Amino acid sequence: MTITATSELTDAWARWHAAREAELATDHGWLSIIAFHWLPDTPTTLDALPGRWSADGTVATLTATAADGFTTPGQSLAVDETITASVPEAGSLTWVWHGERLIELVLRGGRYAIRVRDPRGPERAAFRGIPAFDIDPSWIRPGQFTPFGEPRVIAVDTARSDLRQQITAVGTVDVTLPDGPHTLVATAGQQGRLNVSFTDRTSGVHTAPWRVVSTSIPTETGFLVVDFNRAVNLPFAFTEFGTCPAPVPQNALPVEITAGELAPVRVTP
Protein backbone atom coordinates (compact mmCIF):
# COMPACT_ATOMS: atom_id res chain seq x y z
CA MET A 1 0.00 0.00 0.00
CA THR A 2 1.51 3.30 -1.11
CA ILE A 3 0.03 6.61 0.02
CA THR A 4 1.24 9.94 -1.34
CA ALA A 5 1.28 13.17 0.61
CA THR A 6 -1.69 15.35 -0.22
CA SER A 7 -3.04 18.59 1.17
CA GLU A 8 -6.11 16.63 2.29
CA LEU A 9 -3.92 14.24 4.29
CA THR A 10 -1.84 16.96 5.90
CA ASP A 11 -4.87 19.14 6.61
CA ALA A 12 -6.64 16.22 8.31
CA TRP A 13 -3.57 15.58 10.46
CA ALA A 14 -3.29 19.27 11.35
CA ARG A 15 -6.92 19.39 12.49
CA TRP A 16 -6.46 16.23 14.55
CA HIS A 17 -3.24 17.56 16.11
CA ALA A 18 -4.80 20.91 16.97
CA ALA A 19 -7.77 19.20 18.64
CA ARG A 20 -5.40 17.01 20.67
CA GLU A 21 -3.41 20.02 21.87
CA ALA A 22 -6.59 21.86 22.80
CA GLU A 23 -7.89 18.91 24.82
CA LEU A 24 -4.58 18.49 26.59
CA ALA A 25 -4.53 22.15 27.61
CA THR A 26 -8.05 22.32 29.10
CA ASP A 27 -8.36 23.78 32.60
CA HIS A 28 -8.14 20.42 34.35
CA GLY A 29 -6.43 18.33 31.68
CA TRP A 30 -3.21 16.35 32.06
CA LEU A 31 -1.09 19.50 32.09
CA SER A 32 -2.85 20.72 35.23
CA ILE A 33 -1.71 17.91 37.55
CA ILE A 34 0.51 19.28 40.33
CA ALA A 35 0.57 16.44 42.89
CA PHE A 36 0.07 12.71 43.41
CA HIS A 37 -0.42 11.12 46.85
CA TRP A 38 -0.87 7.48 47.78
CA LEU A 39 -3.50 7.42 50.52
CA PRO A 40 -2.24 6.06 53.85
CA ASP A 41 -3.92 3.37 55.97
CA THR A 42 -4.58 5.78 58.85
CA PRO A 43 -6.08 9.29 58.55
CA THR A 44 -3.24 11.69 57.77
CA THR A 45 -2.73 15.21 56.46
CA LEU A 46 -1.14 15.53 53.03
CA ASP A 47 1.23 18.18 51.70
CA ALA A 48 -0.54 21.44 50.79
CA LEU A 49 -3.99 19.97 51.45
CA PRO A 50 -6.19 20.35 54.53
CA GLY A 51 -8.31 17.53 55.89
CA ARG A 52 -7.32 14.01 56.83
CA TRP A 53 -7.06 11.34 54.15
CA SER A 54 -6.92 7.54 54.23
CA ALA A 55 -7.89 4.34 52.43
CA ASP A 56 -8.48 0.78 53.58
CA GLY A 57 -8.22 -0.95 50.20
CA THR A 58 -11.99 -0.88 49.72
CA VAL A 59 -12.86 2.80 50.03
CA ALA A 60 -11.05 6.10 50.32
CA THR A 61 -11.94 8.47 53.15
CA LEU A 62 -11.71 12.23 53.65
CA THR A 63 -12.54 13.93 56.94
CA ALA A 64 -12.87 17.69 56.68
CA THR A 65 -14.65 20.69 58.16
CA ALA A 66 -16.33 23.52 56.30
CA ALA A 67 -13.35 25.72 57.13
CA ASP A 68 -11.09 23.41 55.10
CA GLY A 69 -12.75 24.68 51.93
CA PHE A 70 -13.69 21.45 50.15
CA THR A 71 -16.87 21.24 48.09
CA THR A 72 -18.62 18.36 46.38
CA PRO A 73 -18.84 18.18 42.57
CA GLY A 74 -22.00 19.46 40.95
CA GLN A 75 -23.87 20.41 44.12
CA SER A 76 -20.97 22.52 45.44
CA LEU A 77 -21.88 21.65 49.03
CA ALA A 78 -19.21 22.27 51.67
CA VAL A 79 -17.65 19.09 53.03
CA ASP A 80 -18.21 19.22 56.79
CA GLU A 81 -18.00 15.55 57.70
CA THR A 82 -16.34 12.27 56.80
CA ILE A 83 -17.00 11.19 53.23
CA THR A 84 -15.99 8.04 51.36
CA ALA A 85 -15.66 7.05 47.73
CA SER A 86 -14.48 4.16 45.60
CA VAL A 87 -13.48 3.57 41.97
CA PRO A 88 -12.70 0.45 39.91
CA GLU A 89 -9.13 -0.58 39.20
CA ALA A 90 -7.55 1.83 36.67
CA GLY A 91 -10.55 4.14 37.11
CA SER A 92 -10.78 7.72 38.32
CA LEU A 93 -13.33 9.97 39.96
CA THR A 94 -13.72 13.73 40.43
CA TRP A 95 -14.03 13.46 44.20
CA VAL A 96 -13.97 16.98 45.67
CA TRP A 97 -12.98 20.51 44.75
CA HIS A 98 -10.69 22.81 46.72
CA GLY A 99 -11.22 26.22 45.18
CA GLU A 100 -10.11 25.89 41.55
CA ARG A 101 -8.30 22.66 42.29
CA LEU A 102 -9.87 19.33 41.41
CA ILE A 103 -9.05 16.39 43.68
CA GLU A 104 -9.22 13.21 41.61
CA LEU A 105 -9.45 9.77 43.21
CA VAL A 106 -7.73 6.88 41.40
CA LEU A 107 -7.13 3.19 42.06
CA ARG A 108 -3.86 1.80 40.72
CA GLY A 109 -2.49 -1.64 41.46
CA GLY A 110 -5.08 -2.09 44.23
CA ARG A 111 -3.97 1.13 45.99
CA TYR A 112 -5.94 4.34 46.29
CA ALA A 113 -4.32 7.67 45.49
CA ILE A 114 -5.36 11.22 44.75
CA ARG A 115 -4.18 13.54 42.01
CA VAL A 116 -4.48 17.30 42.35
CA ARG A 117 -5.38 19.20 39.19
CA ASP A 118 -4.79 22.96 39.21
CA PRO A 119 -5.52 25.14 36.15
CA ARG A 120 -2.71 27.44 37.32
CA GLY A 121 -0.16 24.61 37.33
CA PRO A 122 3.27 25.35 35.85
CA GLU A 123 3.12 22.78 33.03
CA ARG A 124 -0.17 24.17 31.73
CA ALA A 125 1.06 27.76 31.99
CA ALA A 126 4.19 26.94 29.98
CA PHE A 127 2.52 24.74 27.34
CA ARG A 128 3.18 25.85 23.76
CA GLY A 129 2.05 22.78 21.88
CA ILE A 130 3.32 19.27 21.13
CA PRO A 131 6.26 18.98 18.70
CA ALA A 132 5.97 16.27 16.08
CA PHE A 133 7.78 14.75 13.14
CA ASP A 134 6.72 16.01 9.71
CA ILE A 135 3.85 13.95 8.38
CA ASP A 136 5.15 11.09 6.26
CA PRO A 137 2.70 8.93 4.28
CA SER A 138 5.17 6.03 4.26
CA TRP A 139 4.39 5.52 7.95
CA ILE A 140 0.75 4.70 7.18
CA ARG A 141 0.96 0.92 7.23
CA PRO A 142 -1.54 -1.87 6.57
CA GLY A 143 -1.92 -4.43 9.34
CA GLN A 144 -3.75 -7.57 10.32
CA PHE A 145 -5.56 -8.08 13.61
CA THR A 146 -5.76 -11.56 15.14
CA PRO A 147 -7.95 -11.64 18.26
CA PHE A 148 -7.12 -13.90 21.17
CA GLY A 149 -9.67 -16.56 22.00
CA GLU A 150 -10.01 -14.85 25.38
CA PRO A 151 -8.53 -11.51 26.52
CA ARG A 152 -5.22 -11.93 28.35
CA VAL A 153 -4.29 -10.07 31.52
CA ILE A 154 -0.62 -9.08 31.52
CA ALA A 155 1.34 -7.39 34.32
CA VAL A 156 3.54 -4.53 33.13
CA ASP A 157 5.75 -1.80 34.53
CA THR A 158 4.43 1.75 34.64
CA ALA A 159 5.71 5.31 34.63
CA ARG A 160 6.10 5.00 38.42
CA SER A 161 8.84 2.88 39.96
CA ASP A 162 6.52 1.97 42.86
CA LEU A 163 3.68 0.64 40.70
CA ARG A 164 2.95 -2.27 38.40
CA GLN A 165 -0.39 -2.61 36.68
CA GLN A 166 -2.28 -5.13 34.61
CA ILE A 167 -3.38 -4.53 31.05
CA THR A 168 -5.94 -6.55 29.14
CA ALA A 169 -4.61 -7.61 25.73
CA VAL A 170 -7.24 -8.51 23.16
CA GLY A 171 -5.05 -9.80 20.31
CA THR A 172 -2.11 -9.07 18.04
CA VAL A 173 -1.52 -6.73 15.13
CA ASP A 174 0.86 -7.85 12.39
CA VAL A 175 2.50 -4.94 10.60
CA THR A 176 5.51 -4.67 8.30
CA LEU A 177 8.03 -1.92 9.05
CA PRO A 178 11.26 -0.98 7.23
CA ASP A 179 13.18 -3.71 9.04
CA GLY A 180 10.58 -6.42 8.38
CA PRO A 181 7.36 -7.86 9.86
CA HIS A 182 6.39 -7.46 13.51
CA THR A 183 3.65 -8.92 15.68
CA LEU A 184 2.50 -6.44 18.31
CA VAL A 185 0.21 -6.92 21.29
CA ALA A 186 -2.92 -4.74 21.22
CA THR A 187 -5.46 -3.56 23.77
CA ALA A 188 -9.01 -2.34 23.15
CA GLY A 189 -9.34 1.30 22.15
CA GLN A 190 -12.26 3.64 21.66
CA GLN A 191 -15.11 3.01 19.23
CA GLY A 192 -13.83 -0.36 18.08
CA ARG A 193 -10.25 0.71 17.42
CA LEU A 194 -7.17 -0.93 18.91
CA ASN A 195 -4.31 0.61 20.86
CA VAL A 196 -0.71 -0.44 20.38
CA SER A 197 1.78 0.85 22.93
CA PHE A 198 5.40 0.60 21.74
CA THR A 199 9.01 1.61 22.13
CA ASP A 200 11.43 2.18 19.26
CA ARG A 201 14.95 3.47 18.74
CA THR A 202 13.85 7.08 19.10
CA SER A 203 12.37 6.38 22.56
CA GLY A 204 13.98 8.41 25.31
CA VAL A 205 16.09 10.26 22.74
CA HIS A 206 13.85 12.24 20.42
CA THR A 207 10.56 10.89 21.71
CA ALA A 208 9.03 9.92 25.05
CA PRO A 209 10.14 6.63 26.67
CA TRP A 210 7.17 5.02 24.96
CA ARG A 211 4.20 6.06 22.83
CA VAL A 212 0.86 4.64 21.73
CA VAL A 213 -0.89 4.55 18.38
CA SER A 214 -4.55 3.78 17.68
CA THR A 215 -5.40 1.67 14.65
CA SER A 216 -8.36 1.97 12.36
CA ILE A 217 -11.37 -0.23 13.15
CA PRO A 218 -10.55 -3.78 11.98
CA THR A 219 -12.68 -5.15 9.18
CA GLU A 220 -14.46 -8.50 9.49
CA THR A 221 -11.32 -10.15 8.11
CA GLY A 222 -9.06 -8.28 10.55
CA PHE A 223 -7.56 -5.81 8.07
CA LEU A 224 -6.68 -2.44 9.59
CA VAL A 225 -4.39 0.54 9.13
CA VAL A 226 -1.74 1.78 11.54
CA ASP A 227 -0.92 5.45 10.99
CA PHE A 228 2.25 6.12 12.97
CA ASN A 229 1.90 9.82 12.15
CA ARG A 230 -0.72 9.75 14.90
CA ALA A 231 1.48 8.05 17.50
CA VAL A 232 1.01 10.07 20.67
CA ASN A 233 2.62 10.65 24.02
CA LEU A 234 0.88 9.19 27.02
CA PRO A 235 0.11 11.51 29.97
CA PHE A 236 3.31 10.62 31.85
CA ALA A 237 5.28 12.44 29.12
CA PHE A 238 3.68 15.71 30.23
CA THR A 239 3.62 15.25 34.01
CA GLU A 240 5.73 13.47 36.60
CA PHE A 241 2.47 12.32 38.22
CA GLY A 242 1.33 9.93 35.49
CA THR A 243 0.73 6.22 36.15
CA CYS A 244 0.73 5.05 32.52
CA PRO A 245 1.38 1.35 31.84
CA ALA A 246 4.48 0.54 29.79
CA PRO A 247 4.39 -1.60 26.63
CA VAL A 248 4.81 -5.35 26.86
CA PRO A 249 8.38 -6.42 25.93
CA GLN A 250 7.10 -7.83 22.63
CA ASN A 251 6.27 -4.28 21.50
CA ALA A 252 9.88 -3.06 21.59
CA LEU A 253 10.66 -2.19 17.97
CA PRO A 254 14.33 -2.35 16.84
CA VAL A 255 13.78 0.47 14.34
CA GLU A 256 13.34 4.25 14.45
CA ILE A 257 9.69 5.25 14.11
CA THR A 258 10.28 8.77 12.80
CA ALA A 259 6.61 9.70 12.86
CA GLY A 260 4.13 11.04 15.38
CA GLU A 261 4.74 13.13 18.45
CA LEU A 262 8.17 14.07 19.72
CA ALA A 263 9.03 14.41 23.41
CA PRO A 264 7.29 17.51 24.79
CA VAL A 265 9.15 20.46 26.23
CA ARG A 266 8.67 20.24 29.98
CA VAL A 267 8.89 22.79 32.79
CA THR A 268 9.90 19.95 35.13
CA PRO A 269 12.06 17.47 33.18
**Predicted pLDDT of residue 6:** 74
CB contact set of 14 (below 8 Å; sequence gap of 6+) = none
**Predicted pLDDT of residue 177:** 97
**Predicted pLDDT of residue 74:** 82
Reported confidence tier of residue 152, pLDDT bands at 50, 70, 90: very high
Alpha-carbon gap, residue 134 to 139, rounded angstroms: 11
Reported confidence tier of residue 7, pLDDT bands at 50, 70, 90: confident
Q: Which residues pair with 225 in a beta bridge?
A: 142
Alpha-carbon gap, residue 219 to 48, rounded angstroms: 51
Q: How far is CA 54 from CA 58, 90, 203, in A?
A: 11, 18, 37
Instruction: Name the residue type at position 174.
Output: D
Alpha-carbon gap, residue 77 to 88, rounded angstroms: 25
| pLDDT tens digits, one per residue of 31-55 | 999 999 999 999 999 998 999 999 9
Average model confidence (pLDDT) for the chain?
Answer: 95
Instruction: Name the residue type at position 198.
Output: F
pLDDT at 27 > cutoff 90: yes
Q: What does the pLDDT average to over 197-203?
A: 98
Q: What does the pLDDT average to over 172-188?
A: 97
Q: What does the pLDDT average to over 82-106?
A: 96
